[in-house]
Structure 1
Amino acid sequence: MRELMLGIGLGLGAGVAPGALLGLVITASLRGGFPAGLRMACVPLLSDLPVVVLSIVLAGALPSGLLRGLSIAGGLYVVYLGAEAVMAARTAVVPAPGEKVPSQVGKGVLVNLTNPHPWLFWITVGGPLVVAAWEKGVGPAAAFMIGFYLLLVGAKVVLAGLVAAGRHRLGPRAYRATLAASGLLLAGAGVWLVVQGVTG
């Protein structure tokens, strides 16, 4: 039970924390509605396995220079995505209900893999907790992982639903302004990642 509660608490904190992936969930939900936001919210389920495994196996062995390099590269890519969203917002129109919008999941996976925060979390907090839980048995370790990902993804799914539900109530100008704001949020998260990489 302790491991499940730890996973729930940490997963909720990570799920609502501002950052690049949260910005992508908002942007995807604005452009493609709930299905697009849902796919983006589920990106950690696709991208975190190598991060978790490598972090647990190599905990403490990854050089800090690698994490700084990931932060800079990932930050620059996120700045590019933010700038792209801001530019697209100038002429964007609210998609019609049911209109197909290209999937952005590949971009989300790349952003998550080059973001140092999942790596740092699993090296310093998540990995040791999983190893300690595993020593008690498979059940406690599974409870931690289930609780963590249920809330990490679930919080983003709820946000995607809220954004998608409100997007058709926006007029063209408000829609463009909201899309541009989400692009600025992305760009700001990218700049923060670059600064962390340079100064870290």
Structure 2
Amino acid sequence: MHFLIIGTLMGLSAGLAPGPLLTLVISETLQRDARAGVKVALAPILTDLPIVFFTLLVLTKISGFHHILGVISIIGGCFVAYMGYENIRTRGVRLDLDGGRINSLIKGVLANMLSPHPYLFWLSVGAPIMNKAMSQNITAVLSFIIGFYVFLVGSKITLAIIVGKSKWFLRGNIYIYTMRTLGLLLFVLALLLFREGYSLLMNH
């Protein structure tokens, strides 16, 4: 349950945070329809799988090197703290509607593959979390991954549907205060990663 909650928090925050993929979800929804936005939202399921497998492979190789894992955990804490800061200072999502006839799903896949965020997340944040989960059992690992992607993709799909009905939602108080609350929770998670990193460094 612990790792499911962490995955849910991270997925929800990443799913709602302003960025290239969210902007594309919303722009496709406004230019075409909510169905097009949903297609873009599904892109991480297709593009992130190799990154997740690579992260798991790296973890099996360095699981005994506590100092390396400690450094990764601290870097991950910094990245999560930055995500929290960005969430707290958000003023909504600005859109650049540029048209185009490329398939929405292909647009989403390209946008996510070319964005540094999935790589940074899984190597600096996902790695230490999954390392701790692996020390328990495979269920803990799967709980984190499933919780993360259900809420990452689910939140984007939900936004596409909402924006299809009311495009002003992304500049409204509900969205802004939701992001700020998630930002504060991310700071808490960052502190936990810092603590885990310090513990690993002290035990190497």
TM-score if structure 2 supplies the norm length?
A: 0.59
- Number of matched pairs: 134
User: Retained in 2: the 8 A contact 1:3–1:141?
Assistant: yes
Q: Deviations over 1:48-69 (max 9, x none)?
A: 1012222343478xxxxxxxxx
Aligned-pair identity in percent equals 39
Alpha-carbon distance in 2 for matches of 1:40, 1:108: 4
Give runs of aligned pairs for residues 31-50 of structure 1, distance below 5 A.
31-50=31-50
Alpha-carbon distance in 2 for matches of 1:140, 1:58: 18
Tell me the residue number matched to 1:146: 146
Q: Deviations over 1:114-172 (max 9, x none)?
A: 111110110011122123212211111111111111111111111100111236xxxxx
Tell me the residue number matched to 1:24: 24
Give runs of aligned pairs for residues 55-134 of structure 1, distance below 5 A.
55-58=55-58, 85-86=97-98, 88=99, 103-134=103-134
Alpha-carbon distance in 2 for matches of 1:163, 1:103: 20
Tell me the residue number matched to 1:177: none
User: Retained in 2: the 8 A contact 1:30–1:163?
Assistant: yes
TM-score if structure 1 supplies the norm length?
A: 0.60
Alignment RMSD (CA, Å): 2.5
User: Retained in 1: the 8 A contact 2:40–2:107?
Assistant: no
Report SS of the residue matched to 1:136.
coil
Q: Give the residue type in structure 2 aligned to 1:31.
A: Q
Q: Give the residue type in structure 2 aligned to 1:122.
A: W
User: Retained in 1: the 8 A contact 2:39–2:108?
Assistant: no
Which sections of structure 1, spanning at least 5 residues, go unmatched? 61-81, 90-100, 168-200
